[in-house]
Amino acid sequence: MRVDFTGKTVVITGASSGIGSEFARAFAAKGCRLIMVARREDRMRELAGELGVPCEILTADLSREEECNKVIETIAGQGAFALINCAGFGLLGATVEHSIEEELGMIDLNIRAVHILTRRFLDLRRESGSGAILNVASCAGLLPAGPYLNTYYATKAYVASFTQGLAEELADMKSGIYVGALCPGPVYTEFTKVARGKEWASALTPEKVVSYAVKKMEKGKKLIVPGAGVRFGLFGTRFLSRHRTARIIGFGQRSRVEE
């Protein structure tokens, strides 16, 4: 399945920074009209001023179901071809050291918002028999567990599983709608700052992640894992028990927790 984004309308959540803003730049380069969604309006307006394509800015807190629904209601009838779900965050540290409110907020944004937006956008596109949805998961979602980034790993496992299952269902239905999961490893974004931890010694840039992702989306790739090192690491876990893999991951994550 080939996907052509040229000149189409693309909705991007989490568009104010990191991978989301880089997707905005990548699709602007293809002459797309953009609908950018995030909480920080000032950053989106600054970005829109750089892109040179029509941009609509929607300020929303997607951890709230009613605001997810409002976004869909706003874009309905605008002919949006693609949805890129980038919004999300993580929290480093032992689970018991986080407030339950923070964790539930993460679940609401990383899982509920992705599910709601995916389903409702799919409803908008099914009659047309075309369209595209990319959900940004993480290589964390392809691993058994992530001590010291525990709830985040669990949310991304949901996104990866849900997205891959949906992609297969739509392929069986010959829907004509592309659905893919982007599962990067560490990326130089604001993620670590928000997660209250130390940056990885080596990570991919958002530019490399997005460039790779767009090329794979255009080819219809359903599971996208940027970075040869990350793909090699995931392959290596096949030879370890789930327990051993989780222990190794936990050791690495614990070293990044700020004192």
Residue 202 has a pLDDT of 67
Question: CA 114 from chain center: how many Å?
Answer: 9
Q: Please report the pLDDT score of residue 191 as a whole number.
A: 59
pLDDT digits (tens, 9 = 90+) for 145-164: 888 889 999 999 999 999 99
Over residues 189-200, the mean pLDDT reads 58
Return the percentage of the chain with pLDDT > 90, whole number: 68
Check whether 39 has a pLDDT greater than 60.
Answer: yes
Give mean pLDDT, residues 169-179.
95
Handedness of CA 57, 31, 159, 69 (dihedral sign): positive
Read off the DSSP letter of residue 200.
Answer: P
The predicted model scores a pTM of: 0.89
Looking at domain 9-254, its CATH class is: alpha beta
Label residue 234 by pLDDT band (50, 70, 90). Answer: confident
Region 81-100 average pLDDT: 91
Highest mean pLDDT among 19-28, 184-193, 235-244: 19-28
Query: Crossing angle for the helix pair 65-75 and 114-125, nearest 10 degrees?
Result: 20
**What does the pLDDT read at residue 6?**
95
The residue extents of the domains of the chain are 9-254
**Residue partners of 181: CB distance under 8 A and separation at least 6:** 134, 135, 137, 141, 159, 160, 163, 164, 167, 222, 223, 224
Instruction: Compute the average pLDDT of residues 84-89.
Output: 92
User: Token pair 């995931």 is at which residue?
Assistant: 234
Q: What is the mean pLDDT of residues 183-191?
A: 75
* pLDDT tens string 116-148: 999 999 999 998 999 999 999 998 888 888 888
Catalytic residues: 152
The mean of the pLDDT values for the chain is: 90
Alpha-carbon gap, residue 145 to 9, rounded angstroms: 36
Angle between helices 114-125 and 150-172 in degrees, nearest 10 = 20
